[in-house]
């Protein structure tokens, strides 16, 4: 594909390419249509390659993804993990959380950390921190959900909440509230009983902090 790079450079286009995946940036939709048609002819004639129209399009940069990255809208776009990449990560972690119902929280954290480090390392070039903050919050909630389910009975939940610092009346109301596990995992009583500091002591990787470290070292 080096010949394609030289062709695009010769035309003065701004572009990015990795293997056979590439994007070309122009100022208007009309220009994009012309470039698309021209590149299709070039690839077919010179390199004997056919453009996959199902995966190719003329569109706004923030409506497309490249190697798992997306961008924000506007004149000064910023890199961020693509929504589908975030969705795939959550799906993978949900499988791990389901397996963790019979394990200690510390063991689940140990299994989580390599996945989180690898993911944030790949997205070290991202400039939008909100994605990492939201994921950190979601992961902590999932871990609280795991605990709530492990406690099973209201009587056990009452006991555990008392052990973790809640007063008698609040622990009893929370343990017997009748709401589902997901609601309870995000409720204030679980945030008080299992604060962020608990996960810090366990060594849970924070995507926000890990990303900041990687960004400062790059």
182, burial (CB in 10 Å: exposed 0-12, middle 13-18, buried 19+): middle
Which of the residues in the chain have pLDDT under 70?
218
Which helix (DSSP H) or strand (DSSP E) does residue 25 occupy?
strand 21-25
pLDDT of residue 218: 64
Token representation of residue 128:
């939008």
133-177, pLDDT tens digit by residue?
999 999 999 999 999 999 999 999 999 999 999 999 999 999 999
pLDDT of residue 217: 77
Q: What's the predicted TM-score (pTM) here?
A: 0.86
pLDDT of residue 123: 96
pLDDT of residue 83: 93
């Amino acid at each position: 594909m080096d010949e394609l790079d030289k062709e695009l450079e010769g035309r003065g286009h701004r572009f990015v390419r990795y293997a056979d995946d590439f994007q070309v940036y122009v100022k208007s939709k009309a220009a994009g249509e012309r470039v698309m048609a021209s590149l299709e002819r070039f690839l077919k004639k010179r390199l004997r390659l056919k453009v996959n129209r199902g995966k190719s399009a003329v569109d706004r940069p923030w409506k497309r993804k490249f190697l798992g990255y997306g961008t924000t809208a506007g004149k000064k776009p910023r890199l961020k993990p693509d929504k589908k990449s975030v969705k795939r990560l959550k799906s993978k972690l949900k499988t791990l959380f389901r397996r963790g119902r019979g394990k200690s929280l510390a063991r689940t954290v140990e299994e989580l950390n390599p996945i989180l480090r690898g993911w944030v390392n790949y997205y070290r070039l991202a400039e939008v921190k909100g994605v990492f903050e939201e994921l950190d919050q979601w992961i902590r909630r999932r871990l609280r959900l795991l605990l709530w389910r492990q406690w099973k009975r209201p009587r056990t939940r009452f006991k555990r909440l008392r052990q973790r610092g809640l007063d008698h009346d609040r622990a009893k109301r929370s343990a017997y509230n009748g709401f589902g596990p997901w609601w309870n995992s995000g409720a204030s009583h679980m945030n008080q009983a299992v604060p962020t500091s608990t996960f810090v002591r366990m060594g849970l990787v924070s995507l926000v902090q890990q990303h900041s470290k990687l960004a400062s070292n790059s």
